[in-house]
């Protein structure tokens, strides 16, 4: 009996020692990866948003803090429990579904949050209220300070030209949004409120996000990621949140897929034409639907197609690639503008793609799409005339929204 037990104990010790060595090696490898190679664990930065798929970007915020950001579950009244987030019936309920969109007005360059917008809307029934929707360019993302944003300047210009101080430009744009998300934002955040003018500034994200994230034309850029997290093996995603090595492996696979997607778009004419047609069809469909809804409401709405450095550089005879090659960017923008020109609402579109086409104005881009300080001022000036014309063309004052009567 003693002789039979000894080999078993030896095997147990060998297995234990091997597992111990593997564990120590894994810990050592993880320390080396983080310390010497600056690898990081998976940090989401941009929280999941139940209606819009993606929320605002939160730089250097750990995952465990994301539930507490504006628009996160805690802000919506859900409470953390041991295994989940739950709504308690004793919690004060919302009076409107617009609370799902309040985070749109909480980005770093928004000068009025949702509560301030509601207060102004209800307290100043005669005020001129301009709502801005779109992506990061619409936010004024690249401005160092909020007063330097194009929408802050536009508000000042409108006040000067209209000779009144009760003119407000509210900004509900969100970085990374595409036109389908902006359409949702219009119907959920703006339509229930009062708006004298709704101004969309967009186009670039619809054009580039499929190549940026390998998603279908028109889809939010995080949609593939969310599908992967929900429907794939949950263990690898859990491990990536705790292991820099696992995260790097996951990231490399994703980057490889995106690179192949871009290669096809850049090199295969047939693939590009098919994708470009879908991208531009979906964009114009979404914007035409919104413009039709605005028309039915008797509400002035404008869609400004934003510039892109690669396209501007091409017109100036200078090379400048983007997520896609300059050739492809020029082709898809030309197709987009062609479909805009054929739109039944073409008079409501503003072509901003040429505002940086002259002289040294290419330098007014801070990067591939965002304008710098001087570029923000040029953009505001370009939007002033059409905004004034739209406001002056409106013959009726929008009625006080129902949400104001609920507070009476």
Residue 345 pLDDT: 98
Averaged over successive runs of 10 residues, the pLDDT of the chain (408 residues) comes to 59 66 61 64 74 80 83 89 88 89 96 96 95 98 95 98 98 97 98 96 98 96 87 83 84 93 97 98 99 95 98 93 97 98 98 89 93 96 98 80 71
Residue 33 pLDDT: 60
CATH code assigned to 97-407: 3.40.50.1110
Residue 39 pLDDT: 64
Residue 408 pLDDT: 47
Distance CA 77, CA 97 (A): 13
Residue 405 pLDDT: 73
- Please report, for the chain, the start and end positions of each structural domain, with discontinuous segments joined by +: 1-38, 48-87, 97-407
218: alpha, beta or left, given left = phi > 0 and alpha = psi -120 to 50? left
Residue 320 pLDDT: 92
Residue 56 pLDDT: 81
**Torsion angles phi and psi, residue 77, rounded to 5:** 105, 5
Residue 247 pLDDT: 85
- Quick check: 314 and 261 in contact, CB under 8 A? no
Distance CA 285, CA 340 (A): 10
Distance CA 338, CA 330 (A): 12
Which residue intervals of 232-366 are DSSP H helices? 234-242, 244-267, 269-297, 309-315, 326-341
Helix (H, G, I), strand (E, B) or coil at 115: helix
Distance CA 80, CA 65 (A): 12
Residue 27 pLDDT: 60
């Amino acid at each position: 009996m003693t002789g039979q037990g000894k080999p078993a104990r030896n095997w147990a010790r060998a297995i234990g020692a091997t597992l111990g060595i593997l564990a120590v090696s894994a810990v050592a490898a993880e320390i080396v990866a983080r310390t010497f190679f600056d690898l990081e664990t998976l940090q989401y930065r941009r929280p999941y948003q139940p209606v819009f798929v993606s929320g605002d970007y939160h730089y250097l915020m750990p995952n465990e803090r994301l539930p507490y950001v504006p628009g996160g579950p805690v802000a919506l009244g859900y409470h953390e429990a041991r295994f989940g987030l739950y709504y308690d019936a004793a919690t004060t309920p919302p009076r409107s579904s617009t609370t799902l969109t309040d985070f749109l007005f909480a980005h770093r360059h928004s000068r009025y949050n949702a509560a301030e917008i509601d207060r102004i809307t209800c307290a100043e029934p005669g005020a001129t209220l301009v709502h801005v929707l779109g992506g990061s360019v619409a936010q004024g993302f690249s401005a160092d300070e909020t007063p330097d944003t194009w929408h802050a300047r536009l508000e000042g210009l409108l006040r000067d030209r209209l000779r009144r101080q009760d003119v407000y430009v509210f900004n509900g744009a969100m970085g990374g949004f595409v036109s389908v998300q902006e359409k949702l934002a219009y119907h959920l955040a703006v339509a229930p409120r009062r708006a004298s003018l709704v101004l969309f500034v967009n186009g670039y994200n619809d054009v580039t996000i499929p190549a940026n994230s390998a998603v279908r034309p028109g889809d939010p850029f995080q949609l593939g990621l969310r599908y992967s997290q929900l429907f794939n093996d949950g263990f690898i995603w859990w491990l990536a949140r705790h292991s820099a090595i696992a995260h790097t492996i996951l990231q490399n696979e994703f980057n490889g897929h995106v690179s192949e997607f871009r290669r096809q778009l850049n090199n295969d004419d047939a693939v590009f034409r098919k994708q470009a047609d879908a991208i531009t069809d979906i964009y114009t469909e979404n914007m035409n639907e919104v413009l039709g809804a605005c028309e039915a409401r008797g509400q002035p709405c404008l869609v400004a197609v934003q510039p892109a450095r690669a396209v501007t550089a091409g017109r100036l005879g200078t090379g400048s690639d983007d997520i896609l090659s300059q050739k492809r960017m020029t082709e898809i923008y030309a197709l987009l503008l062609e479909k805009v020109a054929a739109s039944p609402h073409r008079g409501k579109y503003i072509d901003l793609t040429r505002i940086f086409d002259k002289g040294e104005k290419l330098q007014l881009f801070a990067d591939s799409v965002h304008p710098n300080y001087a570029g923000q001022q040029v953009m505001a000036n370009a939007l002033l005339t059409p905004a004034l014309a739209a406001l002056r063309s409106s013959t009726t004052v929008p009625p006080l929204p129902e949400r104001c009567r609920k507070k009476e």
